[in-house]
A and B are shown apart, each in its own frame.
Chain A
Amino acid sequence: MIRTEEMLLNVGPQHPSTHGVFRIVLKIDGETIIEATPVIGYLHRGTEKLAENLQYTQIIPYTDRMDYLAAMTNNYVICHAVETMMSLEIPERAEYLRVIVMELGRIASHLVWFGTYLLDIGAMSPFLYAFREREAIINMLNEICGARLTFNYMRVGGVKWDAPEGWIEKVRDFVPYMREELAGYHDLVTGNEIFLNRVKGIGYYTKEEALNFSLSGANLRCTGTNWDLRKDEPYSIYDRFDFHVPVFHTGDAWARYQCRMQEIEESLKIVEQAVEQFPEEGPVMAKVPRIIKPPKGEAFVRIESPRGEIGCYIASEGKKEPYRLKFRRPSFYNLQILPKLLVGENISNLITILGGIDIVLGEVDG
């Protein structure tokens, strides 16, 4: 008698395509997924618990380790939360530096996503091209803050270091270079028939589902929801820049791909304008007390990270340590929809869908 049976397949936590230590237990029939159960927490470091015994400035390096591909936005969100509570006025120059590094970080993050996504799908070269450009960005960020990945650059009230001599010019030169390379990516990948077949119609969800599952970032904008906190709830100085929020309507991996690629272009626009408007002189740090003590109360702020809405909740007792600190980590929320998307797909699509969501495990596990 020939009989078939379902089998359990453990994907991860050590697997090339889970982008870190993410585990997903699949119940498969042949190669078709019947049920998927994500298991997370392998990278849980208890940042929020640790933060309860740390001063605000000391917490900033911990945020670097959450979304380690776009640590600048993480730095910013906690500074922004404290600054909102203390109603601090940030010096112009610091604001511009923040925007420039955050947008460069966004580009770098999307480049990593682009490279690894294509690697997941089986194309090796785009990965190396993307990392070449990312390297240029990382070098620039290294020059301004002395770290390539865990920047620890921002402080409550401004930024730690002013831009070194000639740095702004480097950023200015980078923009046209990146545009040119981006066109190359489109030539290499975007029109590729195999790639299109792999991503079109894969991992589809509707706008309502996206909202219901609290998705954010490109995962939300791919469903036709025009929502970008930089535009809709402007923070920092984003209201000064002319940029456009890419929105696509097909709700599949292809839309997410296009969305992120266009976001790179928009970020370049922002960087370009920020470099134009960059103030010649001025402090990069507001006058803040040496020991930061936000007033008693609570605040929740959210900003747009490359992965979506990153938020920071602070409950303060007016002391130098937060009473409770909570990060809304976009990857954590975005990943929730995965089990739903996987049912009925095959293992190849698992990789496409998971990659398309763009998670960073450091962020998922907090």
Chain B
Amino acid sequence: MTDKQNDSNEGLSIEEQKKKAAAEAKAKALELAKQRQAEKEKAADVSEPIAEERELTKEELKKKAAAEAKAKALELAKQRQAEKAKAAEGSEPTATEPELTKEELKKKAAAEAKAKALELAKQRQAEKSETTKAPQSDEPADDLAKQKALAAAKAKAAAAAKAKAAAAAKAKLARVGGGDTSTEPASDDEKAKAAAKAKAVAAAKAKAAAAAKAKASREAGTDSTTESAGDDEKAKAIAAAKAKAAAAAKARAAANAKGAGTEPVAEEKPSPNQPILDTYRKVIKEHLGEDVLEDSYINRLSKDVPTLVAKPESYYKIAEFLKYNDQLRFDYLSEMHGTDFETHFEVYNHLYSYNHRQSVALKVKIDRTIATTHSITPLWEGANWPERETYDLLGIHFEGHPNLTRIMLPDDWVGYPLRKDYEPHDVEV
């Protein structure tokens, strides 16, 4: 997802487009069905360079137009083709003139096939789940992205259920609304476009095109200012990955593989540590029962470390079990600290087993008002000072700790500095 990759994608896609344009010209002359598909691919491809380099797109469009002209001359089904050609061309001016986009959207919506309602639903779901997962940050960009995504999803739902024209209108509204509130209209337009296109493509049933567009939308994201780039990029990439996964489940998986980026696919692979986590879960379940763990997952961001979230009341029990069970034997406490997540405190332990050469992260969420948990110093002496540090800086009390006093700060310090609501006692300092 780096710029570097984007760069290479751009480079490739432009060349690729040219090649495709040539190939398509031939293909059209030969085959009706092929023509249609090729044109859809074009539509997808065209959207990509728009964001970056319009000059190239125009040239390319001209080529396409020429190819299409040939194809038209050959082909009986001129009407449909013309429509699509318009769609493709129409996407170009979108960037500059939003009015055109609306028209285009209507056309696309009209072109939607009801038979694709199922796919749409899938995609929508994926998108929704992603958007709801998106971080609740106070940055407007985030919210906008979410809003838009939701709006798009809604528009799709409506389109599938009702008349297409209505759906298009809604999508328009949503987009316009988004554009108004946005601080960066340019990028919003692009995003809206991308969303609209995603719809159109789904309607046109080419999943390969969908993948390509996911890429395109990602680029659109990076093209906007770097401030919002990270978030948008990420959200879109994930959405794209999900959409793709849904598509892959279908018969056209082969077509997908071509256009799919390698990275999102890798992310979807089950973690190599999954079996290890499953073992931990199983062993803990066998010995301690069902309801000792609050959660357990693989933390992909943290080198795929299996993570166990203990329930507060069974935290010590699990820790003890992790240390003394023969299958686990986590004899080394690598790290222990606490975090104030505002809604709750969290104590994080990174444990390591030298026998089995495995890691596990053991967490426990603590009620912020009580701020008390059991000390694990009786199990690992190494937790002694870290727990004192956590007590000192966060004010979490560890029951059963041999000497729970302040360690970094003076004994008469007021407050716990690492708490998010910490106010320095002495305002002068």
Contact = CB atoms under 8 A, between A and B. Distances in A.
B418 interface: yes
A179 interface: no
Contacts of A40: 407-408
A148 interface: no
Given A232-B357, A301-B303, A290 B334 contact: no
A211 B227 contact: no
Contacts of A366: 389, 408
A85 B230 CA distance: 13
Contacts of A225: 354
A89 B226 contact: no
Contacts of B384: 336
Interface string A40-54: 110010101100000
Given A300-B361, A328-B335, A295 B381 contact: no
B139 interface: yes
A324 B345 CA distance: 12
Given A49-B418, A232-B357, A288-B2, A297 B299 contact: yes
Contacts of B340: 324
Which interface residue of B299, B382, B386, B389 has the most chain A CB atoms within 10 A? B382
Nearest to A88: B2
Nearest to B263: A87
Contact of A214 (B263, B301, B333, B337): B333
B305 interface: yes
A41 B409 contact: yes
Contacts of A337: 381
A211 B409 contact: no
A289 interface: yes
B268 to A, nearest CB: 14
Given A287-B4, A333-B385, A212 B331 contact: yes
Contacts of B407: 40-41
Interface string A256-281: 00000000000000000000000000
A300 B302 CA distance: 6
Q: Chain B: interface residue count, which band?
A: 35 or more
Interface residues of A, number: 55
Contacts of A302: 334-335, 350
A213 interface: yes
A286 interface: yes
A214 B408 contact: no
A296 B303 contact: no
Given A214-B382, A318-B231, A289 B337 contact: no
A35 interface: no
Nearest to B133: A296
B55 to A, nearest CB: 24
B299 A298 contact: yes
Contacts of B135: 296, 317-318
Interface stretch (A67-75, A159-167, A308-316, A350-358): A308-316
A328 B389 CA distance: 12
B176 interface: no
B2 A89 contact: yes
Interface in A109-166: none
A309 B137 contact: no
A209 B385 CA distance: 16
Nearest to A41: B408
A300 B335 contact: yes
Interface in B289-312: 299-303, 305
Contact of B230 (A227, A289, A300, A324): A289
A89 B266 CA distance: 14
A174 to B, nearest CB: 33
B316 interface: no
A225 B407 CA distance: 30
A291 interface: yes
A214 B137 contact: no
Contacts of B332: 211, 214
Contact of A211 (B300, B331, B383): B331
B417 A46 contact: yes
B339 interface: yes
Contacts of A208: 331
Interface string B376-414: 000011111110010001000000000000111110000
A84 B303 contact: yes
B386 A333 contact: yes
A18 to B, nearest CB: 17
Contacts of B302: 84-85, 297-301
Interface in B312-352: 331-335, 337, 339-341, 348, 350
A214 B4 contact: no
B337 A326 contact: yes
A290 B2 CA distance: 12
A204 interface: no
B382 A291 contact: no
Contacts of B263: 87
B428 interface: no
Nearest to B342: A323
Nearest to A288: B2
Contacts of B409: 41, 44
Contacts of B1: 87
B385 A299 contact: no
A332 interface: yes
Interface in B1-33: 1-4, 7
A41 B385 CA distance: 12
Give the 3 A-B residue pairs with the shortest CB-CB distance, closest first: A214-B382, A287-B3, A299-B302
Interface of B: 1-4, 7, 135, 137, 139, 142, 226-227, 229-231, 234, 263, 299-303, 305, 331-335, 337, 339-341, 348, 350, 354, 357, 361, 380-386, 389, 393, 406-410, 417-418
Given A214-B333, A318-B142, A318-B234, 5 more contacts: A84-B302, A84-B303, A288-B2, A297-B302, A317-B137
